[in-house]
Every structure is written in C-alpha cells, then in structure tokens.
Amino acid sequence: MKTNKAAKADAELADALRPGQSIELLKELHILTREGRLNQDSRRKLKQVYHLFQFIEQLLRELPEEGAGATLADHGAGKSYLGFIIYDLFFRARQGSGHVYGIETRGELVERSRALAQRLGFERMSFLNLTVAESAQASELPAQIDVVTALHACDTATDDAIAFGLAKKARCMVLVPCCQAEVAACLRETKALSLSRTPLAELWRHPLHTREIGSQLTNVLRCLYLEANGYSVTVTELVGWEHSMKNELILARYTGQRKASAATRLRELLGQFGLDALGDTRFRLA
C-alpha cells in the first residue's frame, strides 16, 4: 500500500503530465527520475516544452488532415526534448505520413537521439548532424517542410531557420530566439557616427543598452522580414520570466500576402540604425 507521501507524489506527477504522455520517454530524456519522479528543475523544463507544444499542436491541427501528414523540422534540436514530445503527443497515435526531423550540430547528441527513437519505436523521426544553414540543401530532407521550429537557436541560427523555412515553403514557423549578438556588434561599429547623426543613438550608447537594443531590434527586423515574405506574425511570451529570460516567442503563419509596408519599414529601420549591410545578407528582400 502506498504511503500518503507516495500517493501525493503520484497525484502531482499525473497533474503535471499531458494525457497520453509516455513515462518511458520522459525517463529516457531524464525529465523523470528512474523512480518516475519529477524534480523542480525538470518540472520547469517540462512546463516550458509543454507550453510551446500547445502552440505547435494548434498550428499542426490547422494543416490538411489536421496535421497527420505534416512534416516538422526542429533546428538546434539538442537532446530533442521538443521533437520527441511532439512525436509522442501528436504524431505517434496518428496513422499518417507525418515526420519529425531533428537538426543538430553535435554528433553525439544526434546518435543518442537516433538510438532512443529506435528503442521507443518512433519510426517517423530522423536526426541529422547538420548546421541549420546546411540543412536547407540537404538531400535527407523533403522539398517542403510544413512546420519549422527553433527553440533557443543562438544568434544568427534563428535567421538561418527563417531562411530554411522560406526555402522549404513552410506553412508555419515557431521561433524562440536566443543570444543575439550580430546586430549589437553592428551597432557598436557605427556608434560614433550614429551619435553625431541622431539622438536615437543614445538608446545604444552604453554597452548594456547596446546589447538590449540589439536583441530587441533583431526580433523586430525578423518579424518585418517574415511579414514582407507573406507571413502573418504573432509575438508573445513563451513562459513566465521566472522560468526563462530568453522568453520571446515568434509565431508565423504563411498567408501568401506579402506586406509591402513591412518591406518598406524594414528598409527604413536598417537605414536608420546603420544596418544597411544586413539588407544584403540576413534580410534580403526579393
């Protein structure tokens, strides 16, 4: 007979997990202990992944056949927590051709994920040892990917994920940017000229402000770029700030309606902040 403490722990675990979630998977991912318990750090991680899954599940259900045949590419997959949970909760019970691709540069994590997928019988999962940029041309991936995710893809890897999504005609993109440095570096290089040209440069005169403004501006430019390429964009919080400081979630749905006003604003912002060079690289418009 279980003690009150054990019964309480079981009830808390049942409350924390999504219906149908594989306990074996969570143990393999070390989210649950061998005894099937959830510690505080794992609870925080699981809450973050579940919250993101809710957004992705909604996007998948909007696709033909309610997403049963959807393809999803997860960039910067790491240990593939997100990919495995999406497969387990969404694709595993659906008899379709849906497939999850995990893209990661660390070979040992790719091999570990491949072995785990085989052990669990997750047949419609593939793991590729590639950079985000390389994956756009990789023969192992289909010509079209329906959903592109990039959870905490560092610096320009988020931009590479957007470029991948555009190349693969993605119906949806789900992006949580992280460690954005490229724009901040450009702002630092042109700081002296900008300070003499516009009082707005006071916003990034101090190094801490340069980093913060660079991060904010990067995401604003990304949203405009997506809108200029035919996506409707929603920006929201991933989870509460107490769980993660890298908290901005960008959701993009393809509508096919390119916004000329977004393209104009993008070019104007690049010029205003002395970032014209990025218009020829990261934010090149057709």
CB 43 within 8 A of CB 75: no
| Segment among 118-127, 200-209, 266-275 with least mean pLDDT | 200-209
Tokens of 128: 């590729």
**Residue 199 pLDDT greater than 60, yes or no:** yes
> Is 39 part of any domain?
no
Q: What is the reported pLDDT for 231?
A: 98
Residue with tokens 């997750």: 122
Question: Residue 83 is part of a domain; what is its CATH number?
Answer: 3.40.50.150
Give the pLDDT confidence of 113-153 residue by residue, as tens digits: 999 999 999 999 999 999 998 999 999 999 999 999 998 87
**Count of CB atoms within 10 A of residue 120's CB?**
17
CB 239 within 8 A of CB 48: yes
Q: What is the reported pLDDT for 1?
A: 53
- Cα(217)–Cα(233) distance, integer angstroms: 16
CB 138 within 8 A of CB 163: no
- Cα(135)–Cα(243) distance, integer angstroms: 31
> Is 79 part of any domain?
yes
Claim: this prediction has a pTM higher than 0.85: yes
Q: How many domains does the chain have?
A: 1
Element (H, E) at 185: helix 182-189
Tokens of 133: 């940029």
> Is 73 part of any domain?
yes
- Cα(75)–Cα(161) distance, integer angstroms: 7
Q: Please give the backbone phi and psi of residue 150, each rounded to the nearest 5 degrees, phi first.
A: -150, 100
CB 241 within 8 A of CB 247: yes
> Is 285 part of any domain?
no
Q: Please give the backbone phi and psi of residue 253, each rounded to the nearest 5 degrees, phi first.
A: -115, 135
Q: Which residues have CB under 8 Å from 285's CB, separation 6+?
A: 225, 228, 229, 263, 266, 267, 279
Residue 57 CA from chain centroid, whole number: 14
Domain that holds residue 259: 44-280
> Is 16 part of any domain?
no
Give the pLDDT confidence of 3-51 residue by residue, as tens digits: 776 677 677 787 889 999 999 999 999 999 888 888 888 888 888 889 8
> Is 4 part of any domain?
no
Give the pLDDT confidence of 214-255 residue by residue, as tens digits: 889 999 999 999 999 999 999 998 865 444 446 789 999 999
Residue 44 CA from chain centroid, whole number: 17
> Is 25 part of any domain?
no
Share above pLDDT 90 across residues of the chain, in percent, rounded to a whole number: 62
> Is 11 part of any domain?
no
Q: What is the mean pLDDT of residues 87-100?
A: 93
- Cα(284)–Cα(279) distance, integer angstroms: 5
